[in-house]
Structure 1
Amino acid sequence: MSSLLPITIDDMSRTPIYDQIEAQIKTLIISGNLPPGTALPSIRKLATSLSCSVITTRRSYQNLEQKGYIKTVQGKGTFVNEMAQTDQTKQKEEAVESGLKQAIESGFRYGFTTEELEAMFLKLLRQGGN
């Protein structure tokens, strides 16, 4: 895990490292853990902290900037961009829906019925996801 941001790289994952970094920073922003105006570590510092290349972290930052999550101010650094509350809510809903869809697809692949999946979901929901 990075000492600068709570980001963990999974070297065993098939997901490219730049995608892992991008997804985790995006989640931190959408969840409000990185509020608008928060200064992000420099590309070089983050790369060192994550033990990955500068090119990899640069690509993550560039993708996030293109999507409007962060902005770079020449000579000052990179900062979390302001997001409209409706955009933030929409992003949260899309992220959770995506995870639920993947879980449902996995459940069906394993042969569970709709009723069995509903029971599992409700059980986990009552447990608070633990």
Structure 2
Amino acid sequence: MWLPIHLNESSAEPMYHQIEVQLRALIVSGQLTEGTLLPSIREMAQMLGCSVITVRRVYQDLETEGLLRTRQGTGTFVASVQKEDLGRQRTASVIEAVEAAVDAGMRVQLTRQEMEQIMARVLDERWKES
């Protein structure tokens, strides 16, 4: 199974975090539905060019969040997630991304006003595209 997960090796964000954020987004957006069998840890590591330990951590974190479930000898599947939990997860994913953007802006010493202008510009551009 191919998953649209793209890693940026030059990013300051750890690889496991990039994978986790993108896999969570695929689940909470409904692109990966309940019961979908994910690649094995080894297969996923090979597909993404990372270590087995990295993928194991991602799967364990998402299982702890209730988004995945693992059955010994069968594999790792997308779990059944209640609608209210999905809403919470979707919101949490966006908050996490915005926090990362704010942190990046602060690292390069952008002002609050500059960051708000950037956010408004990006929102305007994305809404035009959709």
Aligned length: 125
Flag the structure with larger Rg. 1
Match of 1:50 in 2: 48
Task: Choose from 79, 82, 100 the match for 1:81.
Answer: 79
Per the TM alignment, residue 16 of structure 1 is displaced from its structure 2 partner at its CA by 1.7
The two structures have a TM-score, normalised by structure 2, of: 0.78
SS in 1 for 2:77: strand
CA distance in 2, matches of 1:98, 1:57: 20
CA distance in 1, matches of 2:24, 2:5: 11
Contact 1:35–1:80 under 8 Å retained in 2? yes
Q: Given the alignment of the two structures, is residue 6 of structure 1 paired with residue 19 of structure 2, yes or no?
A: no
Q: Once the two structures are aligned, what percentage of the paired residues are identical?
A: 39
Per the TM alignment, residue 101 of structure 1 is displaced from its structure 2 partner at its CA by 5.1
SS in 1 for 2:69: strand
From the superposition, tell whether residues 110 and 61 of structure 1 become closer, same or farther in structure 2 (CA, over 3 Å): same
Per the TM alignment, residue 118 of structure 1 is displaced from its structure 2 partner at its CA by 6.6
For structure 1, the residue ranges without an aligned partner over 5 or more in a row are none
Match of 2:70 in 1: 72
Q: Amino acid of the residue matched to residue 110 of structure 2?
A: Y
Contact 1:21–1:60 under 8 Å retained in 2? yes
SS in 1 for 2:54: helix
Structure 1 range deviating more: 90-99 or 4-13 = 90-99
The two structures have a TM-score, normalised by structure 1, of: 0.78
Q: Amino acid of the residue matched to residue 14 of structure 1?
A: A
Contact 1:30–1:88 under 8 Å retained in 2? yes
Match of 1:113 in 2: 113
